[in-house]
Amino acid sequence: METAAPPRSVASAVWATRAVFATNGGMFATWVSRIPAVRDDLGADERGLGFALLFIAVGSLLAMPLSSRLIGLVGERVVISVCVAVSLVAYPVLGLAPSLVALAAVLFVIGAGVGVWDVAMNVAGHAVEQRAGRTLMPGFHAAWSLGGVTGAGLGALAARLGVQPAAHFAAASVLAAMLSAWAVRRLPNARETGARAGAEGERHVPPALGLPVLRDRRLIGLGLMTFCAAWAEGAANDWLALLLADERQASGAAAAFGFTLFASAMTVGRLAGNRVVDRWGRVRVLRTGAVVAALGVVLLLSVPSLALGYLGAVLWALGIAIAFPLAMSAAGETPSRGPAAIAMVATIACSGFVVGPPLIGSLAHAIGLDGALWVVVALAGGIVVLSGTARRPTSVRG
Contact of 186 with 16, CB cutoff 8 Å: yes
Q: What value, to the nearest 5°, has the Cα angle with vertex 172 and ends 167 and 178? A: 130
Contact of 110 with 90, CB cutoff 8 Å: yes
Could you tell me the maximum CA-CA distance found in the chain, to the nearest angstrom?
65
pTM of structure: 0.77
Contact of 392 with 323, CB cutoff 8 Å: no
If DSSP codes are grouped into helix, strand and coil, which group holds residue 230? helix
Give dist(CA 272, CA 274) in Å, integer: 6
Give dist(CA 341, CA 348) in Å, integer: 11
Contact of 119 with 209, CB cutoff 8 Å: no
Structural domains in the chain plus CATH codes? 7-199 (1.20.1250.20), 211-391 (1.20.1250.20)
**Closest CA relative to residue 95, chosen from 51, 37, 27, 159:** 37
pLDDT tens by residue, 136-185: 888 898 998 888 888 888 888 888 888 899 999 999 999 999 999 899 88
Give dist(CA 329, CA 136) in Å, integer: 9
Residue 124 amino acid letter: A
Give dist(CA 5, CA 215) in Å, integer: 34
pLDDT tens by residue, 362-372: 888 788 888 98
What is the crossing angle of helices 165-184 and 35-42, to 10°?
Answer: 140
Give dist(CA 203, CA 394) in Å, integer: 18
What is the dihedral angle through the alpha carbons of 205, 207, 209, 214, rounded to the nearest 10 degrees?
Answer: 50
Going residue by residue through the chain, which has 398 residues, state the pLDDT in tens, using 9 for 90 and above: 344 455 558 888 889 999 999 999 889 888 877 877 888 888 887 677 778 878 888 888 888 888 878 887 888 888 889 988 998 899 999 989 999 999 999 999 999 998 889 888 888 888 888 888 888 888 898 998 888 888 888 888 888 888 899 999 999 999 999 999 899 888 876 555 444 444 444 334 444 444 455 667 888 888 899 999 988 988 887 788 778 888 888 877 788 788 778 888 988 998 888 889 888 988 999 999 999 999 999 999 998 888 999 999 999 999 999 898 888 888 888 776 777 788 888 888 887 777 777 788 788 878 888 898 999 999 999 999 999 988 877 654 44
